[in-house]
Structure formats: C-alpha cells, structure tokens
Amino acid sequence: MLIYNLILYIISPYLVSRVIIEAIRRKSGFSFIKQRLGLISKKLHNKPIWIHASSVGETKAAVSLYQSLSKNSPEERFLITTNTSSSRSIIPINENLEHLYLPLDWLFTTKRFINSINPRICILIETELWPNLISICKKNNISIIIANARLSKKTTGSPSFIKNIYKKVLSNIDLILCKSNRDKESYIQLGYLDKNIKVIGNLKYADTNNTIYNNENIVNRKYVLALSTHPDEERQIITEWMRINEKKTLLVIMPRHPERLGDILSDIPLDLLSISIRSKNEPIKKSTQIYIADTFGEADIFLEHCEFVFLGGSLIDHGGQNFMEAASYGKTIIVGPYMYNFIEETEEFLKNNAMIMVKSSPTLKHVFERLIKSKQRRELFGANAKKILLSKKNIIDDYCKEIQSLL
C-alpha cells in the first residue's frame, strides 16, 4: 500500500488536471470538481447502503439494484456514488436516495469521505477495486461486496507488483458476486482465496428488463446505428457503409466518447460524404449520408427507432461494449471479433441466433445489405435477443438475497 500511495501522490497534479478538464469538457460544474477532489463537508447520519458505480452502464445496474433493495426494505437509506456527471444524470434522487461523486483514492481524502457518509455496507459494481477505499472500509468494519464482479484484461495482465496490491486489496472483500464463471476464475487467480465468491449472472440483464418505449424519433428517417464506437472503428464502418448502394437509409454513428468528434472527422473523407453533426444542431437532410450523434445520455433514444445496431469496441482490441440495452429494444445486434469482456454472454447470444458476429470490417457490407433487405431476419434476431433477457429477469432478486444476508 505504501508503493500505491506514493505513486498516487506523485501523479496527483495529473489527476487534478484531468478532473478539471473533464468538468470543463462535460460541463459538470464546480461541485463535480470539489467532490472528486474530496472537498465536501456534507455528513450523512442515517448509515446508508452505499453503492458505487463508475460510468453510465454500471450506474444503470446500480440504480436497478437500489430499486430492488429499497422495494424490499423501504426503511433503508441509500447513497450512489459515481465518477462522471453523465452517470449522475440517470440517478432518480429522492428522499431515500442521495448522490455524491467519489473522491480520488487519496488516503486521507478517502478516510474523511467514508467517515462523512458513515455507510452500513459498501457495494462496488464490477471492477472498482480502489485500495484505500477498501482498506478503510475494512478498518471501520464496513462490509464490502463486489457485485457483477468482473476483471478486465488490463487488470489480469498487470505487472506482478500491481497484482500484489490487488491481492492484498481482495483479502479485505467480504463477498464477491461474479457475472460469469470465467470472472470467478480470474478473481481466484488474482489472489482471492476466500470461499465467499459466487456466480450470480450479469446484473445488467436486470436493468434492461425495465426498458421504457416512449422516446421521440429525432431522426425521422430509416437509419442504422453504430453505437459506442472507438478510434478507427468509425473509419472502418463508414468505408463499408459507402460500398452499399443504399440511398434511403441513414447511418447514425454514436461514439463512446463524444469529445472525439475532431479525431473522427479527420479520419474520414469529408469531401466525399454528406455529414450532419448533432452537437452542432445540424439538420438531417435527404442528402445526409452520415449523422454523428456526439452527445451524452441519448443512446436509448437512438436505439429505440433504429433498424439494427452495430456495437463498437469490438472491431478493435478493446473487448466489446455492453449490448443488453440493444437487446431490450428487440434489435438485431452486430459485433466484431473482440468481445472478450462479454465472453459468456456473447456465446449465449450467438448460440441462440440473437447476435451476428463479423470476423472483420469488410464483412459488414454483406451483413448490412442482408439486414436492410430483410425485415423478417431483423425481427427474428431481435426477438431471440429479447427472449434471452426475459429468461434472466430473476437475477436481480438473487443479488438482493446475497446482499441482504450481509445486512
């Protein structure tokens, strides 16, 4: 822990500047900067159930968990912490649920924060293994659960001294609830020797079983969606799209990080394309071929009315993105070959004809053409995807039972 804290304090200027830049870029406000830097004075006296989630996908799972736990125990108070302002926007704050931004994992800052919120229990969603946070909770006899536990390729491939830090951190965890058997094995290999580790399933299935279909179609044209795209994927997708002789259908690209707009535009042949950009309020014309939806928090709007969806992070070595929300809208899902962050889920969807996987981007042209021409094929894949989700609707109850056993 000494090495970890030393490294953390050495890179503090970089961390502070990153928080400030993120606040400016996302218009998060001064409260975001204050809370992320630990400059809060708020005290919670009701010993809340504390759930921490990093970004939007994890926060949706956290909200589903909160809703189920509060339904079973309405007298409880809850706190959800996040790392981003876009996550904050989807939290239904009310009389028994509060939100704060999690401070950076500096030792004394984290100690002051935990003393201020005084939680009954700490539930970490997925991979939020912050060493100081976890060790301070342990010293204060606060039970720690990792829900929907998974480990990234980056974590499992860390240098040995980093793995030793994780091993010490894991020894303070009371219960690990994994989303898959592979993730369970990864935690054991990383050093979790306790018997309190179970496979429950993917908590993100729970959020998507409550999908609401009432979003306005802001495109007003037949369109295909490329969602959560990463660097170089936009170029690959657009290249294949332009090989299709399809005038009536629009391609909507929604990058994982909207601030990459400049990089995206510099990577594609603007002189050969008719493009409109959402952040600039540019209208979609009949001649528009590509619409770049470079905004936060609008994925569900574009998902509901698209013909089918390609999920990014899968044509490059990133590991894929969560495709449960697309499945909840009954959409045909297309992914690339790099889906190692969702191995078991991907295998199940492929096995049940609920997803299409392409080996490389040149295959996209053929897949796009077949799906555009065949509504029956689109509906078949979409119905199969939704059927899988419905079969997982009890996962949230299984998580709640395990958490309540520690409460």
pLDDT tens string 297-330: 789 899 999 999 999 999 999 999 999 999 999 9
Chain length of the chain: 407
* pLDDT for the residue 247: 83
- Average pLDDT estimate for 336-364: 96
CA nearest 278: which of 258, 250, 257, 249?
A: 258
Question: 122, 146 in Cβ contact below 8 A?
Answer: no
* Lookup result for tokens 């509906």: 379
**Domain encompassing residue 290:** 223-391
Residues 233 and 150 in one domain: no
Residues 379 and 398 in one domain: no
Q: How many CB atoms lie within 10 A of CB 60?
A: 24
Looking at the DSSP bridge assignments, the partners of residue 356 are: 334
* pLDDT for the residue 161: 83
pTM of this structure? 0.86
* pLDDT for the residue 208: 66
Structural tokens at position 375: 């509504």
Question: 128, 64 in Cβ contact below 8 A?
Answer: no
- Average pLDDT estimate for 36-65: 89
Look at residue 149 and tell me whether its pLDDT is greater than 90. Answer: yes
Residues 296 and 169 in one domain: no
Residues 247 and 183 in one domain: no
* pLDDT for the residue 211: 62
- Average pLDDT estimate for 55-82: 92
Domain count, the chain: 2
Residues 255 and 168 in one domain: no
Residues 122 and 259 in one domain: no
217 located within any domain: no
Distance CA 405, CA 376 (A): 46
Q: What is the mean pLDDT of the chain?
A: 92
* pLDDT for the residue 66: 95
Residues 194 and 240 in one domain: no
13 located within any domain: no
22 located within any domain: no
* pLDDT for the residue 353: 97
Distance CA 250, CA 290 (A): 6
CATH of the domain at 70: 3.40.50.11720
Residues 291 and 384 in one domain: yes
